[in-house]
């Protein structure tokens, strides 16, 4: 997401003519203007290939499940067992 935001910001600065980015022309600096978008594609491809995206989604679901479980135990006046102890 950060790469896309940076790419959009570079495009806005270029079109508005702000700062040194505003002086860039597509003919000379096309690779710099497109680099953040290429990096975003590569990052997403790697995240999907490595399973990072799925692991993050599973962790989020597990955290929500544990929060609901803890809330239910608190509502019943029970204390949850300490992790690692039996």
> How far apart are the two ends of the chain, measured CA to CA in Å?
42
Which stretches of the chain are DSSP H helices?
Answer: 2-16, 19-22, 26-50, 52-76
pLDDT in tens, the chain (86 residues): 899 999 999 889 888 988 888 888 888 888 888 999 999 999 989 888 888 888 888 999 999 999 999 998 888 887 766 665 54
pLDDT of 33 reads 87
Say what the pTM is.
0.59
What 3-state DSSP class applies to 51?
coil
């Amino acid at each position: 997401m950060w790469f896309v935001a940076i790419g959009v910001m570079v495009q806005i600065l270029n079109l508005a003519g702000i700062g040194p980015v505003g002086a860039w022309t597509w003919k000379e600096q096309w690779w710099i203007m497109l680099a953040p978008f290429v990096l975003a594609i590569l990052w997403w491809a790697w995240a999907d290939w490595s399973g990072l995206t799925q692991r993050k989604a599973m962790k989020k679901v597990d955290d929500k499940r544990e929060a609901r479980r803890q809330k239910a135990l608190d509502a019943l006046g029970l204390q949850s067992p300490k992790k690692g102890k039996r």
